[in-house]
Structure 1
Amino acid sequence: MAVQDRTALILYGSETGNAQDMAEELGRLCQRLHFANHVQELDAVDLNALLQYRFVVFVISTTGQGDMPHNALAFWKKLLRKKLPPGCLSTLKYTTFGLGDSTYFKFNWAARKLNRRLEQLGATTFIDGFEADEQFPDGIDGSFVRWAEGLYNHLLQTDPPPNGLEPIPDDVILPARWSLRKALESSSVLNGNVDPVLSGPPPDQLLPIPGCWTATMVDNVRVTPASHWQDVRLVSFDIPRKEGQQLRCHPGDCLTIYPKNFPEDAQKLITLMAWDDIADKPFDLSTCDSLPQGLHANQKCTLRELLINNIDITSIPRRSFLKGMSYFSTNPDHKERLLEFTQTEFLDEYFDYATRPRRSILEVLEEFSSVKLPAERLLDIFPLIRGRDFSIANGGEQLNHPSQEGVTRVELLIALVKYRTILRKPRQGLCSRYLDNLPQASTLCVTHKPVLTPIHGVQNAQRPLVAIATGTGLAPIRALIQERRTHPSPGPTLLFFGNRNRDADYFFGDEWDAAVRDGDLDVFLAFSRDQRTKVYVQDLLRQESKRLEGIIFRNGIFSVCGGSTKMADAAKTAVFDPFTEGADDEDGRKKVLSSLTWWQEIW
């Protein structure tokens, strides 16, 4: 099979979108060196296609308990086929950039497993890969910037542009990968304008999301007092059968919600960019040569509808977005400042300007008022709204609708994101604002994301469980405990739960108290602000070290869930250190810990 001349393939396995964003950036890097390139998710590629390219770059995140991302599972399954001969990928030249978090047991395992399997099949690296860590001082983004710079320099030196061509300089804009030009031109043959929605919550419009279920919101109840600093909701959805099949959920599964922008924010952007004349003219997306992966839009739509339903105008701008802005600035000072944010030596300034104060794309465009982005570049420059994953908070029989057969009742425990930045500006998360204003009985499209490393089921229910949770991390724990209680003779279950105040933050307290009275559960509570000396879950874990030691030797399951990597690290230390400290067979005990089921979900 002939290798395509100077054509690169950049593949991503992405759970939250970071790996996809980086893959797109690498595609632009290759463009500047005059490589033709294709950027695709891993599941979209056949193994034979890998051999057709000059080189392949894998950008892959690790999810769950050392698992491949959901959009890489089919590719990984193909790669593991036993009938593949050892040297079948001997002509493949590749490299990998892994995204991971060292607070997890299986740090960057997706990249490591991929590298190992590619080597077994004869592939060789053309440049050293990299394992980025969320815990690095400058995060994964800082590592990526430096690694990508090294990749650029390596390619420039070893495979320079042909025929005396020079690399396309940074101050020259690249052709659009996805252009709306043909669609906008098609608007002239479609009749009239669509009446715009200018205020209020986003319109109740179902989007064509692959594999989606239609859900009706039946409850949105605040479970913290109105006077409390945090607004936590128990949001319930009813999801009927689809094509005769009922939605089946298990503990650890997520429901993915696709939020929308508010009409007034869309109008603000339309005014800033001077798009009023074209905002409500219908056009046909099918006339476009290509569209980005993850764009869930009706073919017949308007620019305003795309802005409300699909374009993430409230997210923190990535460096690539600021670079895109710079090409359309008519103010030299604005252009210079925007370009500084994109340069490696100014990473700290980018962090202080964008990430630390959590400036939104809309705010940045307001500040750099000389920038007028052309509407045809909308999909090429702006990020898409991605679905938000929420752990399902109910399990077992609680997933069945109380009166309607075939309807699944899904509950989510959601802390609405509301805060003030260092700029003293109020902030509200895109999905939080969407859910907060969603009218009762609204219907929306949701998708179901199954857990990749399960700890539920009859056999697991017979093993002891130590569940460790803080805040809304209690959601998947509750689903697991509810499911375990439906099985005969479940193993001992211990719940260590931490939050600030018992009166305000003891989620599902009545439920836990009833389970304790029934003898099905032991509960250990750490409410840090209810006494002068702060108490945390790790303190309670140390107090119960002898009991936990017995559970470790009985092949127990440890599950830790919450919104803090510090808590996860502290919990692991509080369990592991007492188990090995001062033991006669310390090496043997460390070996026991290495095979312990430690299931972690931190966000």
Structure 2
Amino acid sequence: MSKPGLLVLYGSQTGTAQDTAQRIGRQAQRKRLQVRVLPLDDYNVVSASVRVPRHRTRQRSDNRTGTSCVLTSVSSPGRPDLRASGGLRVLHHRPRRPSGQHEGLLEVSLQEVSPRRLSEAGGLRHAGLGGLVLPQVRPSGALLSQRGVTETYDLLSLRRFNFVAKKLHKRLVQLGAGVLLPVGLADDQHDLGADAVIDPWLSAFWGRVFALHPALADRTPLREEEPLPPTYTFHFLEAVKEKLEEEEVDEEELGGVLRPAPSQARPFAARLLSNRRVTDASHFQDVRLLEFDITGSNMEFAAGDVAMMFPCNSTRDVLKFCELLGLEPEARFTLRASGSTAVPSRLPRPCSLRLLAQSFLDVGAMPRRSFFELLATFSSNEMELEKLLEFSSAAGQDELHGYCNRPRRTALEVLTDFPHTTADIKVDYLLDLFPEIQPRSFSIASSLQAHPNRLQILVAVVRYRTKMHEPRRGLCSSWLASLDPAQGEVYVPQWVKKGTLKFPKENTTPVIMAGPGTGVAPFRSALQERRAEGKNANILFFGCRSESKDFYFRSEWEEMVRTGHLTLVTAFSRDQEEKVYVQRRVKEKAALLWDSIANRNACFYIAGNAKQMPSSVCDSLKEVFQEEGGLSSDEASEMLEAMERSGRLQSETWS
């Protein structure tokens, strides 16, 4: 019989589930268990299902690693997580289309992954964690305040609390997996965050593991204060260039990646043509329209699709990072992985410490609990160690929240507060300590039919204050705002992904769009596209603070109105004593909306900040259904839900 092993799979878009999965992996290592931690997309379910002989049904394990338990960790903002979709598609073999919002997830038919065959391959014991990431109340904008989709929400997201975790758990049970313990449903809105559920759930999980495998109790676990081996080791090159087997990469290209074919692994380095502020100079919010030249990229996109890119840390933060850790920025190294872990493909070989800090390590992020846990293993200073252990403990999470979360303190600022511990950090642990910079996504604000070989995005620059001396800045929006093509050629590696918004193909189907602020970005793409295709039944509800300060694309909308391609309804919230928002305008246009939706089968789209606007617009729509259609409150709600299920009501909102 093979030794019991643990396979931890995660689906993560913002890094929350990945951090939890890696935390579980470290706990398993301390308990001297065989463990693998993988993203769902990297785990070949089909391969696993065919490698185990059919007669081996009593001893159920992963044939390759002796895995007897599969643990999944998924972070879900009320809808399927993009990075979890690949693994889930395979597990759900029944062909169906849940709704327009869930296209691409759980709908691929792979008949070879039947319940019986997956049961033979694993029949594994399964335990699952989920997490719902809801909007944080803070003065950020789109993608955060950029026009992006870091976290998107269905209109019925509260009803779909932890949708992915529940769906995956149900499907694994259908496929024959044994349930080790009930699924854990965490909520980031809890006072103690997701750990309020994760901590007791993990305690129960390890209790079950040791009950199933009593022999594990005989193994002496590693002490908590003893550092685990680093995931990677750094091998520094001599001053004279050493010959390497792999081709060197030009570090001038941001992100350290080669050009074509556009994908996350190899994005296209698009030349920045313009970076123009579209808000008045006196307006508090700096919003930019950036245009890129994508000639020769073979990029194709439609309305609703998103541009993806990796941001870079500021030069100031890079130099501060190197100074705090006593690193020589120009020192060049190669990485060697321990075990079966792959070396990050985004890093060139060799790589400089400057490039590592600039393009890979998220040194300016707000650190998670795991950051303090690892720091504590390095610390030799009694006072600092005591505080780090407190921040790492379940009992100290309220203190940690006050120290880190409320003021949005960055990892660099934490290192400054713990100078003795920082001096003890070994370079080999950098990739364990700092998370990788995650790609950012922006709704594309242009159409190839109107702007061939061009891609435009609308970016609100995130900048706000907390009790910290320095203002808080959004990593990607601040980086993009700093790029100036007038000072020399600037290239931004990027690729395109299909978005969640899908627009009707029929020429006669009306489209109604509610996009206040930077939420109008995907609708500009849609209107340019539909205008070129001769689709004139378009209604846009646009809202902003002031007609004179942040009325994005005003001249374009007015031209479309003049030529009969658009019905424009505006709401300028601060131009009069009483604040007016798009949801009020929706109610005022009740007759037009009822006729378009009930009689002409119109589709309704919402994009923008997720705080209150989406639910308020939906409430206004229900009032329209009641007033103009004579429906009861329940009937209006049912009509709204039916529209969403059929793809006639779609949203793309973010915190």
Confirm whether residue 520 of structure 1 aligns to residue 565 of structure 2: yes
Gaps of at least 5 residues in structure 1 are: 193-201, 401-407
CA distance in 2, matches of 1:530, 1:28: 55
What's 1:405 paired with?
none
Confirm whether residue 180 of structure 1 aligns to residue 226 of structure 2: no
What's 1:23 paired with?
21
Helix, strand or coil: the match of 2:480? helix
CA drift of 1:17 comes to 2.4
Q: Deviations over 1:240-291 (max 9, x none)?
A: 224xxx2101122111121222333222222222234xx4332223577665
CA drift of 1:295 comes to 5.3
RCO greater where, 1 or 2, for CA within 8 Å and sep 6 or more?
Answer: 2
Counting only pairs closer than 5 Å after superposition, residues 308-319 of structure 1 correspond to structure 2 as 308-319=358-369
CA drift of 1:550 comes to 3.5
CA distance in 2, matches of 1:575, 1:57: 42
Q: Deviations over 1:70-119 (max 9, x none)?
A: 45326514642134333333312112223335762353433333233323
CA drift of 1:483 comes to 1.7
Q: Which amino acid aligns with 2:420?
A: S
Confirm whether residue 9 of structure 1 aligns to residue 38 of structure 2: no
Helix, strand or coil: the match of 2:468? coil
* Alpha-carbon distance change, 345 to 580 in structure 1, aligned in 2, over 3 angstroms: farther
* Contact 1:258–1:445 under 8 Å retained in 2: yes
What's 2:141 paired with?
none
* Alpha-carbon distance change, 556 to 457 in structure 1, aligned in 2, over 3 angstroms: closer
| Greater alpha carbon shift after TM alignment, 351-360 vs 47-56 | 47-56
What's 1:602 paired with?
653
Helix, strand or coil: the match of 2:495? strand
1:284 alignment partner, one of 320, 325, 334: 334
RMSD across aligned positions (CA): 2.8
2:310 alignment partner, one of 243, 250, 258: 258
Counting only pairs closer than 5 Å after superposition, residues 5-404 of structure 1 correspond to structure 2 as 5-47=3-45, 48-49=47-48, 51-52=61-62, 53-62=67-76, 66-70=79-83, 72-73=85-86, 76-77=89-90, 79-80=92-93, 81-90=110-119, 91-100=123-132, 104=154, 105=156, 107=160, 108-136=162-190, 138-140=192-194, 142-159=196-213, 162=216, 164-176=218-230, 178-181=231-234, 183-184=235-236, 187-188=237-238, 191=241, 204-205=253-254, 207-208=256-257, 210-242=265-297, 246-276=298-328, 279-285=329-335, 296-371=346-421, 372=423, 373-400=425-452
* Alpha-carbon distance change, 229 to 590 in structure 1, aligned in 2, over 3 angstroms: closer
Helix, strand or coil: the match of 2:303? coil
* Alpha-carbon distance change, 99 to 234 in structure 1, aligned in 2, over 3 angstroms: same
* Alpha-carbon distance change, 588 to 430 in structure 1, aligned in 2, over 3 angstroms: closer
* Contact 2:501–2:652 under 8 Å retained in 1: no
* Contact 1:45–1:75 under 8 Å retained in 2: no
1:557 alignment partner, one of 599, 603, 613: 603
Confirm whether residue 538 of structure 1 aligns to residue 583 of structure 2: yes
* Alpha-carbon distance change, 500 to 151 in structure 1, aligned in 2, over 3 angstroms: farther
| Greater alpha carbon shift after TM alignment, 72-81 vs 7-16 | 72-81
Helix, strand or coil: the match of 1:472? helix
* Alpha-carbon distance change, 549 to 109 in structure 1, aligned in 2, over 3 angstroms: farther
User: Among the aligned pairs, what percent are the same residue?
Assistant: 31
* Contact 1:207–1:445 under 8 Å retained in 2: no
Helix, strand or coil: the match of 2:449? helix
CA distance in 1, matches of 2:513, 2:284: 26
* Contact 1:500–1:528 under 8 Å retained in 2: yes
CA distance in 1, matches of 2:459, 2:193: 26
* Contact 1:250–1:456 under 8 Å retained in 2: no
| Greater alpha carbon shift after TM alignment, 127-136 vs 302-311 | 127-136
Helix, strand or coil: the match of 1:385? coil
TM-score (norm 1): 0.87
CA distance in 1, matches of 2:343, 2:334: 17
Q: Deviations over 1:550-596 (max 9, x none)?
A: 34434432211112322222222222245358956655544332221
CA distance in 2, matches of 1:481, 1:140: 40
Q: Which amino acid aligns with 1:56?
A: V
* Contact 2:622–2:636 under 8 Å retained in 1: no
* Alpha-carbon distance change, 101 to 573 in structure 1, aligned in 2, over 3 angstroms: farther
Helix, strand or coil: the match of 1:225? coil
* Contact 1:180–1:379 under 8 Å retained in 2: no
CA drift of 1:149 comes to 4.2
* Contact 1:499–1:506 under 8 Å retained in 2: yes
2:530 alignment partner, one of 480, 484, 492: 484
| Greater alpha carbon shift after TM alignment, 577-586 vs 339-348 | 577-586
CA drift of 1:35 comes to 2.0
What's 2:55 paired with?
none
CA drift of 1:313 comes to 0.7
* Contact 2:279–2:286 under 8 Å retained in 1: yes
* Alpha-carbon distance change, 61 to 482 in structure 1, aligned in 2, over 3 angstroms: farther
CA drift of 1:7 comes to 0.9
Q: Which amino acid aligns with 1:305?
A: L
CA distance in 2, matches of 1:287, 1:153: 31
* Contact 2:335–2:343 under 8 Å retained in 1: no
* Alpha-carbon distance change, 159 to 190 in structure 1, aligned in 2, over 3 angstroms: farther
Helix, strand or coil: the match of 1:383? coil
CA drift of 1:416 comes to 0.9
* Contact 1:223–1:507 under 8 Å retained in 2: yes
What's 2:248 paired with?
none
CA drift of 1:33 comes to 2.8
Q: Which amino acid aligns with 1:234?
A: L
CA distance in 2, matches of 1:555, 1:110: 30
CA distance in 1, matches of 2:31, 2:461: 44
* Alpha-carbon distance change, 60 to 235 in structure 1, aligned in 2, over 3 angstroms: same
What's 1:469 paired with?
515
Gaps of at least 5 residues in structure 2 are: 50-60, 94-109, 135-152, 243-250, 258-263
What's 2:468 paired with?
423
* Alpha-carbon distance change, 126 to 273 in structure 1, aligned in 2, over 3 angstroms: same
Counting only pairs closer than 5 Å after superposition, residues 576-595 of structure 1 correspond to structure 2 as 576-580=622-626, 583=630, 587-595=634-642
* Alpha-carbon distance change, 93 to 583 in structure 1, aligned in 2, over 3 angstroms: farther
* Alpha-carbon distance change, 262 to 126 in structure 1, aligned in 2, over 3 angstroms: same
* Alpha-carbon distance change, 516 to 137 in structure 1, aligned in 2, over 3 angstroms: farther
CA distance in 2, matches of 1:27, 1:535: 51
1:511 alignment partner, one of 548, 556, 567: 556
What's 2:56 paired with?
none
TM-score (norm 2): 0.81
CA drift of 1:310 comes to 1.1
* Alpha-carbon distance change, 23 to 551 in structure 1, aligned in 2, over 3 angstroms: farther
* Alpha-carbon distance change, 95 to 290 in structure 1, aligned in 2, over 3 angstroms: closer
| Greater alpha carbon shift after TM alignment, 548-557 vs 331-340 | 548-557
Helix, strand or coil: the match of 1:162? helix
Q: Deviations over 1:488-518 (max 9, x none)?
A: 445x322122221111111011111122222
CA distance in 2, matches of 1:555, 1:344: 53
Helix, strand or coil: the match of 1:560? strand
Q: Which amino acid aligns with 2:303?
A: P
* Contact 1:329–1:335 under 8 Å retained in 2: yes
